[in-house]
């Protein structure tokens, strides 16, 4: 089996100093979430400094469609394939639903994390919450709450580092991760075994 290619994602500079220290952690979580839609999946996701600049590195075999998905990462600035000690640029081809102006036009008083705002918009979460009755101003208020973002990242870190959640879905029964269970029939079987 051939080794997967290594990639380095240059993180976009953060315009918001409050969130700048969280950019790498948030980008790691976002990249891991994209793994389930990629043809080959992702592995070995880590934050790494190359030439004194922070990159998010990972292993994958990326097809053109995969690159389009990854081009939508809210934190992505540039993508490179690592070839020995060199970085070969990979053309980003985003599947943009919204103009980039959407996240840069300040329409309300609070400062937001532009990266997190873009993630909410690109993923469709904003539309989802609006469809379920959450007013737009309430969604925007959530994006200005650093304590809430810190709590989300804390929960994410607990899942990844302690529970070893490596994608979606992951199921746990009485604190034990159920390996190889990805759908209701598989989970139902495990639940029935557990209650016997």
| 4, pLDDT greater than 70 | yes
| 161, pLDDT greater than 90 | no
Q: For 153-169, what is the mean pLDDT?
A: 77
Query: Do the beta carbons of residue 11 and residue 56 sit within 8 Å?
Result: yes
CA 171/CA 189 separation, integer angstroms: 12
Q: What is the pLDDT of residue 99?
A: 47
Given pLDDT bands bounded at 50, 70 and 90, which one contains residue 15?
A: very low
Q: For 124-152, what is the mean pLDDT?
A: 79
Q: What is the pLDDT of residue 40?
A: 78
Closest CA to 118 of 60, 83, 74: 74
User: In 3-state terms, what secondary structure has residue 99?
Assistant: coil
Give pLDDT tens digits for 23-57: 777 788 888 877 777 887 788 888 888 998 889 89
Give pLDDT tens digits for 61-84: 998 888 988 888 877 889 999 998
Average predicted confidence (pLDDT) for the chain:
78
Give pLDDT tens digits for 96-119: 554 444 444 333 344 455 666 767
CA 32/CA 84 separation, integer angstroms: 24
Extended beta strands in the chain, E state = 5-11, 43-50, 53-60, 76-83, 86-90, 172-173, 176-177
| 135, pLDDT greater than 60 | yes
Query: Do the beta carbons of residue 39 and residue 71 sit within 8 Å?
Result: no
Q: For residue 79, with 0-12 CB atoms within 10 Å meaning exposed, 13-18 middle and 19 or more buried, which class applies?
A: buried
Q: What is the pTM assigned to this prediction? A: 0.53
| 158, pLDDT greater than 90 | no
Cα 103 to its chain centre, rounded Å, is 17
């Amino acid at each position: 089996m051939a080794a997967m290619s290594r990639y380095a994602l240059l993180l976009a500079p953060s315009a918001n100093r409050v969130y700048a220290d969280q950019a790498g952690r948030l980008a790691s979580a976002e990249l891991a979430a994209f793994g389930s839609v990629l043809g080959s999946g992702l592995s070995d996701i880590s934050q790494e400094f190359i030439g004194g600049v922070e990159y998010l590195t990972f292993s994958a075999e990326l097809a053109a469609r995969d690159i389009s998905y990854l081009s939508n990462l809210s934190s992505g600035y540039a993508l490179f394939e690592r070839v020995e000690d060199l970085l070969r640029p990979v053309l980003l081809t985003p599947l943009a639903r919204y103009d980039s102006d959407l996240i840069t036009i300040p329409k309300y008083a609070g400062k937001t994390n532009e990266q997190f705002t873009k993630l909410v918009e690109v993923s469709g979460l904003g539309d989802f919450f609006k469809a379920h009755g959450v007013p737009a101003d309430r969604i925007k208020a959530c994006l200005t709450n650093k304590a809430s973002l810190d709590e989300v990242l804390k929960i994410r870190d607990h899942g990844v580092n302690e529970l070893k959640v490596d994608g979606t879905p992951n199921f746990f029964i009485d604190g034990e991760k159920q390996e190889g269970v990805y759908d209701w029939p598989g989970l139902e079987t495990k639940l029935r075994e557990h209650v016997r």
